[in-house]
Each structure stands twice: as C-alpha cells, then as structure tokens.
Amino acid sequence: MSSQLDALRNHTTVVADTGDFEAMKALRPTDATTNPSLILKAVQQDAYRPLLEKTARDHRGAPTAELMDRLLVAFGRAILDIVPGRVSTEVDARLSFDTRATIERARALIALYQAAGVPRERVLIKIASTWEGIQAARALQAEGVRCNLTLLFSLPQAVACADARVQLISPFVGRIYDWHKKAAGANWVDADNAGARDPGVQSVTRIYQYYKRFGIATEIMGASFRNVGQILALSGCDLLTISPELLTQLSQTEGDAPAQLRADAVGGDIARIASDEVAFRTQLNDDAMASDKLAEGIRAFVADAIKLDALIEAQRA
C-alpha cells in the first residue's frame, strides 16, 4: 500500500512550507513556500548561514532592505533548483498597510529573480491579505506578477482576492483552530472539533465551495496545519502547503487520502458577497477571529523581519 502522502498527491498539489533544502529534496514537493520566520530560522543554522554571509559580503554597501530582498531571492533560487514548480517569496510585512510600497518591493524582488535568470512564472510574491495588500496584488497581477495572498482567515478576504484576480490565496487552518480552542477554554473537546468539524478546515471548505460555485480561477492553497487530520480533511483542495514534520508523518503512514473537496460536488444555495472596501473592512471587523489573527500574524512577521535585519547588519561588522 502507498503512503498517505503519495495518495494525497493524487488529489492535491503538495507544497513544502519550509526553508530547509534537504527536507525538500527528501519529500519531493511540487512547490515551496517561505516566510520571514522560516528564513530567520534557516539562516541561524550552520548549513544555511553561508547564504547570509555571501549576500552581505557581495553587496556590503546596499541598504538593509535590499540585502534582505537579495537574501530572500538567494533562498528562492536555491529552492527552485530543487522543486519543479514555484517558490513563494514574501514582501516585508512592515509594508502590509502601504499599497505603493508593497508594489515597489514586489517589483524589486521580481527584478532580482529575472536578473538571476528565473522566469517570473516560477515566482509567487507573498503579500498579507489586508485591503492595502490586496490592492497591491491587483496592480501587480495586471503587470504579470503572480501573487500569493497570505494571512487569510476569512471568506471576505478570499472574495476580495478573487475580485483582484490574484493567482493564489493561502487560507490558514491551524491558526484558526488555535483561536477557537483558546476562546473555548475548558469547554473545548478535541474530538468534537476534528476532521470536517475543525473550524480551520471549515473555513477553507467555505472558501473552496464559494470559488468553485462561481468559477473563480484563483488557486486555493490551504496552509498552517497543526496535525495530519486537518490535511486529510482538505484532500482535494487545489494545493496544500505542509511543514516537513507533517510531510514526513504522511510519508511514513500507509493508507489512502480520499478527496474530501471536489468541485463537481459543490452545490446548494451560495450567495455572492460584496468585495468593495467598505464591505471588506466591515465584514473583517465583524469577525473577531479573522481580525485578531491577521493583526497577530503581521506583528509576528514584522518581529522576525526586524531580527533578520539585525543578523544582516551583524554581517557588515
């Protein structure tokens, strides 16, 4: 019998959520995603520190922001030597509420990739799913820059992304699960919130059903998993980005991973929702979980970007 990972590949494109090259070689994902936290973790390891040292040495006079972008692209180029598909590279989270600056930073990243001979279709620019980030993605997509909208926790965010014609969205699962578990406190029962009843799984399922009902071309990539059960409950999603730890667990477990999400099974009465700015901000504000997790996620990525800045600056000494 094949592994659950092999079975999952029959229904879903498997993506590695890591900056660890060796894990990618072993687990053979199609695409790979990175974020500031993953890159920060990687460059503190002996195996990957030379990338940081070389970037700082070769471009010693460059501003810190440029050095960070060059470091991200160095990782991305190495990843693309391993995976056959695409890599996601994230715009600095400190720009999450600045549309113009996000556009300019994304263009800079794409220019660095192109200068290195990487075609733009192999790169996804990751941007936080704020209103400003989504509008930046709208402009970038019109220029042929493909975007991955991350830190996405709600259907209104997903609908606004679809309206902006973004290439791909990354709706989070585990962080939604975490929020509801914390909110429930002593009343939380794991068994009652597993599989299809998991609040994070339900969120991605609603987005999937909405997109397929209205023929939306934007790809859906479930992200941020806490356990294998969440992954198997979303088998059939367009893509799933999974940590090396959970990919390894799937690869070492025999069994099937039947599709739980199927475009041809979407039915029922699904109403369109508005995606203008007022509707977006109102609906996001009304969703305490989505508001909390979006803000928390941006703060966490900003904190790690600042730490990455410090490591880059230390290399100048």
SS3 category, 114: helix
Tokens of 218: 């934007």
Q: Is 126 a catalytic residue?
A: yes
Cα atoms in the 13 Å half-sphere on the side-chain side of 96: 21
Cβ-contact 94, 53 below 8 angstroms: no
Closest residue by Cα to residue 200 from 162, 161, 237, 166: 237
> Virtual CA dihedral for 188, 194, 199, 202, nearest 10 degrees?
-160
DSSP letter, residue 77: H
- The one catalytic residue among 126, 182, 212, 307: 126
Q: Which residues contact 50 (CB under 8 A, 6 or more apart)?
A: none
Q: Which residues contact 37 (CB under 8 A, 6 or more apart)?
A: 300, 301, 304
Cβ-contact 167, 120 below 8 angstroms: no
Q: Which residues contact 71 (CB under 8 A, 6 or more apart)?
A: 39, 43, 51, 52, 55, 308, 312
Q: Which residues contact 174 (CB under 8 A, 6 or more apart)?
A: 200, 224, 225, 226, 230
Q: Catalytic residue numbers?
A: 126
